[in-house]
């Protein structure tokens, strides 16, 4: 299957999934259905997105995107489940670290190569 078709199916699947999850959450909030403590595991969705993006990544910016999803999914999951004693309150500095790493990932040969081409008139 070509890359564009996979992307189309990906967007279709993610869209349907988000509508279903949103509907379930809304029904739970209105006490129409009860889904229990399963909502504590919602960050697994972000991890799945990150893994899927990582598996399909071919360019540097796609790897950065996968890192974003995996990092935030891991942070949310650790905070939700209080893994390693982490909570949203005490682990927010990790977001600064992740943001810094993502900025650092934007620098490097890819940007320098483009700058060199521009400088040489290519």
The per-residue pLDDT string of the chain (122 residues; one tens digit each, 9 = 90 and over) reads 677 887 788 788 888 888 888 898 889 888 898 887 777 888 998 899 899 888 888 888 888 889 889 999 999 999 999 999 999 999 999 989 988 888 888 776 654 444 455 555 55
Give the pLDDT confidence score for residue 4 in this predicted structure.
81
- What are the Cα distances from residue 7, in Å, to 13, 15, 53, 99, 102? 10, 12, 10, 26, 23
Classify the phi-psi angles of 120: left when phi > 0, otherwise alpha if psi is within -120 to 50, otherwise beta. alpha
Q: At 106, list the tokens.
A: 């934007």
**pTM for the full predicted model:** 0.66
Q: At 2, list the tokens.
A: 């070509």
Give the pLDDT confidence score for residue 109 in this predicted structure.
63
**How far apart (Å, rounded) are the C-alpha atoms in residues 69 and 67?**
6
């Amino acid at each position: 299957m070509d890359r564009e078709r996979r992307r189309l199916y990906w967007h279709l699947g993610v869209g349907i999934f988000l509508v279903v999850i949103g509907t379930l959450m809304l029904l739970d909030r209105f006490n129409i259905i009860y889904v229990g403590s399963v909502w504590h595991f919602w960050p697994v969705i972000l991890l799945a997105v990150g893994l899927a993006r990582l598996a399909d990544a071919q360019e540097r910016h796609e790897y950065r995107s996968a890192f974003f999803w995996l990092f935030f999914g891991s942070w949310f999951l650790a905070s939700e489940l209080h893994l390693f004693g982490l909570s949203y309150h005490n682990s927010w500095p990790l977001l600064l670290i992740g943001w810094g790493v993502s900025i650092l990932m934007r620098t490097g040969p890819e940007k320098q190569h483009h700058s060199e081409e521009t400088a040489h008139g290519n």
